[in-house]
Amino acid sequence: MSTTALSAGELARADAPRLLTELPGPKARALVERDARVTSPSLPRAYPLVPARAAGCVVEDVDGNLLLDFNAGIAVTSTGHAHPEVVEAIRRQAGELLHFSASDFYLPVYVELCERLAALFPGPGPARVFLTNSGTEAVEAAVKLARWHTGRQYVIAFFGSFHGRSYGSASLTASKARYRARFGPLLPGVLHAPYADSFRPNLGASDWDFPTASYLEGVLFERLVDPAEVAAIVVEPIQGEGGYVVPPPGWLAALRELCDRHGILLVADEVQSGIGRTGRMWAVEHEGVEPDVVVAGKGIASGMPLGAMLAREEVATWTPGTHGSTYGGNPVACAAALATLRLVEDGLAAGAERTGERLLAGLRELASRREAIRDVRGRGLMVGVELADHDTAAAVEQECFRRGLLVLGAGDAAIRLSPPLVVTDAQVDRALELFAAACADEAAP
């Protein structure tokens, strides 16, 4: 680490990258070489970032370079890196109880977190909560519960969706063929429909009436499956890995109406869009839609491994032993989640809405000057920039990294910006400067 390393407080307040070496630096390159000899080749690394420590929205790599983090560990570090209140909650809990399985015993911190999440459930009536180790496990739990409760076998997801990589959730995922290739047969009884995506006209559109509704009613329900056999429709209120796609107003409400008409459960996958990222605790709240089940993960515990499935009490009808988890709801992760939720409710969600508007406005102004930027979309600090094509998006992502700005690609040709919710105005403005410079070099009209 550099001898000029900043204190944790100084690091958290930094608003500009500080590059001591060309990225990646020598220590980073050495670590990447070591990694390549022992880790699974399945890991989809984006670029050679080797972090040593981080605070707030700033990451210091092993060579002492400071980078501005606008991917938050894939939308995970919601309260920023190493938020003091989260760190203290982790330390306190670790000193009292590291582990006891909540599947077989009763843990105070587990109950406290479940009570808090049940109170935040965006659906009607009381809710029950099941804690997992990750978002994909929460999706798996939702699929199992939906089939158990309804006695039906079919589940519908959407083209462009990403729900995880374990077998059940990978069966729902339909964003890239490589997530499914050579793993078949996957979970049977999973069907897909178009999402409301105006940039993939063969898979979706900006209006509910075309083609999603006609496809569900006129194709799936008419020719493939009786709606009375469909247990659930699983939907991302804003598609994440699929490109940060925001559906048009009324689309989610129409899904809710269709589910009500056919007795189908509506499952909102809020793994990436939840926990304050869009300016509300849950993205579905922007549309006033009440799901039957919500799944959460990523930002729920500021980096500790945790996921959650929340369901209406009358839906959570499964019996003891039908589902469980040895580590899900680990006491330390629960403590981090309780601290995270307090911070999100106490102002971070509202701040995400305000700084998100600043980020969107800056990107839209840039789009007015750059023909290669086809669209800027998002809610709160879940922002997508659609570029001319995949190669351009990939080049911009890499150029941002070289300049000290961490972003990630998404969808077919998009860049996603999802900084920690503690991001400051100065950091937003600096990120806009860096992104504009990256576009000037890599996305010239």
Residue 245 β-bridge partners? 239
Would you give the distance in Å from CA 392 to the centre of its chain?
A: 23
Please state the domain count of the chain: 2
Detail the DSSP E strand segments found in 204-358. Answer: 230-235, 265-269, 293-296, 307-312
pLDDT > 70 in the chain, percent: 95
Averaged over 339-352, what is the pLDDT?
98
Q: Please check whether residue 18 lies inside any domain of the structure.
A: yes
Averaged over 10-32, what is the pLDDT?
92
Least reliable range by pLDDT among 196-210, 233-247, 279-293, 389-403: 196-210
Q: How far is 14 from 55, CA to CA, in rounded Å?
A: 9
Which of 69, 121, 298, 401 does the annotation list as catalytic? 298
Q: What is the pLDDT of residue 200?
A: 57
Which of 61, 63, 197, 269 does the annotation list as catalytic? 269
Are 129 and 237 members of one domain? yes
Range of the domain at 278: 87-343
Are 385 and 433 members of one domain? yes
Are 331 and 376 members of one domain? no
* Token pair for 249: 């107003």
Are 73 and 147 members of one domain? no
Q: Please check whether residue 266 lies inside any domain of the structure.
A: yes
Are 176 and 256 members of one domain? yes
The values of phi and psi at residue 301, to 5°, are: -135, 25
Are 73 and 132 members of one domain? no
Is-catalytic flag, 298?
yes
Considering all CA atoms of the chain, what is the largest pairwise distance in Å, rounded to the nearest integer?
68
Q: Please check whether residue 126 lies inside any domain of the structure.
A: yes
Q: What is the pLDDT of residue 211?
A: 59
Q: Could you tell me the end-to-end alpha-carbon distance of the chain, in angstroms, rounded to an integer?
A: 40
Q: What is the pLDDT of residue 199?
A: 60
Q: Please check whether residue 418 lies inside any domain of the structure.
A: yes
Q: What is the pLDDT of residue 337?
A: 98
Which CATH number belongs to the domain containing residue 47 in this structure?
Answer: 3.90.1150.10
Q: Please check whether residue 3 lies inside any domain of the structure.
A: no
Q: How far is 64 from 16, CA to CA, in rounded Å?
A: 14
Residue 54 β-bridge partners? 59
Q: Please check whether residue 289 lies inside any domain of the structure.
A: yes
User: Among the three residues 305, 321, 343, which one is the final residue of a domain in this structure?
Assistant: 343
Residue 66 pLDDT > 90: yes
Are 323 and 386 members of one domain? no
Q: What is the pLDDT of residue 432?
A: 97
> pLDDT-derived band of residue 342, with 50, 70 and 90 as boundaries?
very high
**Long-range CB pairs of 99-105, under 8 A, 24+ apart, other chains included:** 99/327, 99/330, 99/331, 99/332, 100/331, 101/325, 101/326, 101/327, 102/131, 102/325, 102/328, 102/329, 103/324, 103/325, 103/326, 103/328, 104/324
Are 126 and 42 members of one domain? no
Handedness of CA 286, 204, 239, 264 (dihedral sign): positive
User: Among the three residues 318, 343, 368, which one is the final residue of a domain in this structure?
Assistant: 343
Is-catalytic flag, 269?
yes
Are 162 and 145 members of one domain? yes
E strand or H helix at 417: strand 414-417
User: Among the three residues 311, 328, 343, which one is the final residue of a domain in this structure?
Assistant: 343
> pLDDT-derived band of residue 405, with 50, 70 and 90 as boundaries?
very high
Q: What is the pLDDT of residue 213?
A: 73
Are 56 and 135 members of one domain? no
Q: CA-based angle 308:213:381, to the nearest 5? A: 45
Averaged over 306-335, what is the pLDDT?
97
Which of 158, 162, 401, 435 does the annotation list as catalytic? 162
> pLDDT-derived band of residue 208, with 50, 70 and 90 as boundaries?
very low
Q: Please check whether residue 78 lies inside any domain of the structure.
A: yes
Which CATH number belongs to the domain containing residue 237 in this structure?
Answer: 3.40.640.10
Condensed to tens digits (0 to 9), the pLDDT of residues 250-309 reads 999 999 999 999 999 999 999 999 999 999 999 999 999 999 999 999 999 999 999 999
Are 232 and 135 members of one domain? yes
Q: How far is 139 from 380, CA to CA, in rounded Å?
A: 24
Are 157 and 288 members of one domain? yes
Q: Please check whether residue 355 lies inside any domain of the structure.
A: yes
Is-catalytic flag, 162?
yes
